[in-house]
Amino acid sequence: MPLQVGDQAPDFTLRDGTGQQNVTLADFAGRPLVLAFYALAFTGG
């Protein structure tokens, strides 16, 4: 069951596309963020 509208989004840390730096939720404070989960690279959707 995914999180619900009105919930606080959990903090997250992900490695960026260079593999060298982290991307966190706080990086996007003040503007909207779309977090789109999908199954695997090179699959549909």
Residue numbers of the site for other proteins (CB under 8 A)?
1-17, 19, 23, 25, 28-42, 44-45
Q: Are 12 and 24 in contact (CB under 8 A)?
A: yes
Task: Give the span between the Cα atoms of 3 and 19, in whole angstroms.
Answer: 28
